[in-house]
Amino acid sequence: MGVYKAEYIWMDGAEPTQKLRCKTKIVPIGQEPPIWGFDGSSTNQAQGHASDCVLRPVFTCPDPVRGGENKLVLCEVLLTDMTPHPTNTRAKCAEAAEKYKDHEMWFGIEQEYTFFEGIKPLGWPDNGFPAPQFGYYCGVGADEVFGRDIVEEHMDACLKAGLKFAGINAEVMPAQWEFQIGPLHGPAAADHMWIARWLLYRIAEDYGASATLAPKPVKGDWNGAGAHTNFSTRAMRSSIDACEAAAEALRGRHELHIANYGAGIEERLTGKHETCSYKQFKWGVSDRGASVRIPWQVAQDGKGYIEDRRPCANMDPYVVCRLITETVCSKVPA
């Protein structure tokens, strides 16, 4: 009987930012990937004397790296009594999505990231810095763009895996890029994002590059990396008033969101480099210096979605989607 390779992927217990871990199980073709386990004492998820943690598959897709019958298996981590592990942020995200399912919340997440080769961003000179930021955003040409072959291979892989991938662009800082996932419901947007992140790390590995989600990878006059989170409820998709009410609801819990939008957020949300200071909350149409932006097209159409610009590149999409769902849906009628 034939077999396939199931790559189990899960979030570890690293602090302050959880990382991805993975390992392979050989499974007979025709069988679903089963519940499995791992050594939690090596991932900051258990003590050595009671080290077993449980992996429960939550999202499975074709493995575009290995091809064939092979699969990627995103898992949530459970305790051995089958309740969610304290590091399992998906469980609460799924709960919030279920509680407010009448709102039909959709998310579209923009993931910015930076390629590094050793200690410097990919393509940066050994001594000194590249030319100041200007020509790099959506640039073309060997003097403007670094890492495009990895970006293209990653995009193809995400499409082959069947992820809801929306697009890519080169970013403002050289060696910085973005891809977008969505729009998708509640935890699904985050599931797709975690798999897309894993594919990015895995594919960059073959090029000897690492992709970092650090929110301020280079100090000084260089852009940080964010994860703008676009969202809409059914009401927002039919009225601009609901879009504005959602933005106002976010104002009411600004500090809670800032505290959960990625470690190092103070370094990125300075009020410079297309950000609003983390100390302030403001929303506006087309305003890339606002915490929350209503896209021009949305104002024009009188309906659509809004963009929370505060989340950092290293945010946990389960946490961000849960917080936005709770904050907006508890204030704005479905």
Could you list the residues that contact ligand ADP (CB under 6 A)?
A: 106-108, 110, 166, 180, 182-183, 228, 230-232, 237, 304-305, 307
- The amino acid present at 189, given as its one-letter code, is A
Dist. CA 116–CA 170, nearest whole Å: 15
Dist. CA 334–CA 325, nearest whole Å: 11
* Site membership for Mn ion, residue 7 (CB under 5 A): no
Which residues, at least 6 apart from 67, have a Cβ–Cβ distance to it below 8 Å?
Answer: none
Task: Say which entry of Mn ion, ligand ADP, none residue 160 contacts (CB below 5 to 8 A, set by partner kind).
Answer: none
Q: Report the residue number, 4 or 231, with the smaller CB distance to ligand ADP.
A: 231
* Site membership for Mn ion, residue 228 (CB under 5 A): yes
Task: Say which entry of Mn ion, ligand ADP, none residue 182 contacts (CB below 5 to 8 A, set by partner kind).
Answer: ligand ADP
Dist. CA 163–CA 193, nearest whole Å: 9
What secondary structure, in 3-state letters, does 242-298 show?
HHHHHHHHHHHCHHHHHHCCCCCHHHHCCCCCCCCCCCCCCEEECCCCCCEEECHHH
Dist. CA 321–CA 231, nearest whole Å: 9
* Site membership for Mn ion, residue 178 (CB under 5 A): yes
Q: Report the residue number, 63 or 178, with the smaller CB distance to Mn ion.
A: 178
Q: What is the phi-psi region of residue 240: left when phi exceeds 0, alpha when psi lies from -120 to 50, beta otherwise? A: alpha
Task: Say which entry of Mn ion, ligand ADP, none residue 59 contacts (CB below 5 to 8 A, set by partner kind).
Answer: none
**Binding segment for Mn ion among 7-15, 86-94, 114-122, 178-186 (CB under 5 A)?**
178-186
Q: Report the residue number, 228 or 268, with the smaller CB distance to ligand ADP.
A: 228
Dist. CA 175–CA 188, nearest whole Å: 29
Dist. CA 53–CA 71, nearest whole Å: 22
Q: Report the residue number, 85 or 310, with the smaller CB distance to Mn ion.
A: 310
Q: Report the residue number, 66 or 237, with the smaller CB distance to ligand ADP.
A: 237
Dist. CA 220–CA 76, nearest whole Å: 38
| Min CB(283)–ligand ADP separation in Å | 14
**Binding segment for Mn ion among 9-17, 88-96, 196-204, 226-234 (CB under 5 A)?**
226-234
Residue nearest to ligand ADP (CB): 108
Pairing of strands 20-28, 36-39: unpaired
**Binding segment for Mn ion among 24-32, 53-61, 102-110, 261-269 (CB under 5 A)?**
102-110
Q: Report the residue number, 108 or 262, with the smaller CB distance to ligand ADP.
A: 108
Residue nearest to Mn ion (CB): 228
| Min CB(28)–Mn ion separation in Å | 42
Q: For the stretch 181-204, what's the b/e string if a residue is b when 16 or more beta carbons lie within 10 angstroms of its beta carbon? A: bbbbebbbbbbbbbbbbbbbbbbb
Task: Say which entry of Mn ion, ligand ADP, none residue 317 contacts (CB below 5 to 8 A, set by partner kind).
Answer: none
| Min CB(175)–ligand ADP separation in Å | 18
Nearest to 231 by CA among 108, 99, 313: 108
* Site membership for Mn ion, residue 110 (CB under 5 A): yes
Q: Report the residue number, 273 or 322, with the smaller CB distance to Mn ion.
A: 273
Contact assessment for residue 192 and residue 159, using Cβ atoms and an 8 Å cutoff: no
Binding site for Mn ion (CB under 5 A): 110, 178, 228
